[in-house]
Amino acid sequence: MIKIAVFASGTGTNFDAILENINAGKLSAKLALMVCDKPMALVVEKAKKANIPSFVFDPKDYPSKAAYDQAILEQCHQHEVDLIILAGYMRIVSSVLLQAYPHRIINIHPSLLPAFKGKDAIKQAYDYGVKVMGVSVHYVNEDLDGGDIIAQKAFNCEGMNLDEAEKNIHAIEHQLYPQTIQKIIEELTI
Ligand code: GRF
């Protein structure tokens, strides 16, 4: 069984969706570790309730990004993590993790990449006045939101307000991410 780690910083609705899919037998993986850089984040509480081992850290306690990424790497090794899933993790992953997990770190981004990279992607797209919005799942490399695209799903957002567009994006994420992770795992285990 492939072991995954989910890295998150916020509410963890994608964490929930991944866990639900595992519990429903639709995603053949073991959620071996949850990593969070925000001790007060809701996702920390969720992982605790679900009995998922967690590594929760405060970046301020480390001298550098490389130092906390090294600590994360040790946790990943300890829990024998095969695949790292970024789900609303608000930190740039350094070469410490990228080199240890080449083509084994994926991210979900709430825009149709390569458009609207970085923070507040939904609002960026909305303010731009796009007529089509969507979600991308991609490999993580040293370029922010710039790695190879694995999957995308689009929808027509004409006439939607920002709130409706956001709800749509999240609903798509919660389906697309577990499905895409399952496909990646199937390819890894062939
Ligand atoms: C999602 O919209 C994801 O695309 C972005 O951050 C958000 C995380 O939400 N990278 P949640 O913490 O999974 O609810």
pLDDT score for 125: 98
pLDDT score for 41: 98
pLDDT score for 31: 98
Which residues of the chain are under the pLDDT cut of 50? none
Task: Indicate which atom in ligand 1 lies nearest the CA of residue 11.
Answer: 12
The span from the CA of 174 to the CA of 105, in Å, is 18
**Beta strand spans in 25-128 (E):** 29-36, 54-56, 83-86, 105-109
pLDDT score for 90: 96
Residue whose CA is closest, atom 2 of ligand 1?
Answer: 110
* pTM of the predicted model as reported, rounded to 2 decimal places: 0.97
173: three-class secondary structure by DSSP: helix
Task: Indicate which atom in ligand 1 lies nearest the CA of residue 170.
Answer: 2
pLDDT score for 102: 96
Residues 137 and 177: beta-carbon distance below 8 Å: yes
Residues 179 and 17: beta-carbon distance below 8 Å: no
Catalytic residue among 77, 79, 103, 109: 109
Q: Is there a catalytic annotation at residue 109?
A: yes
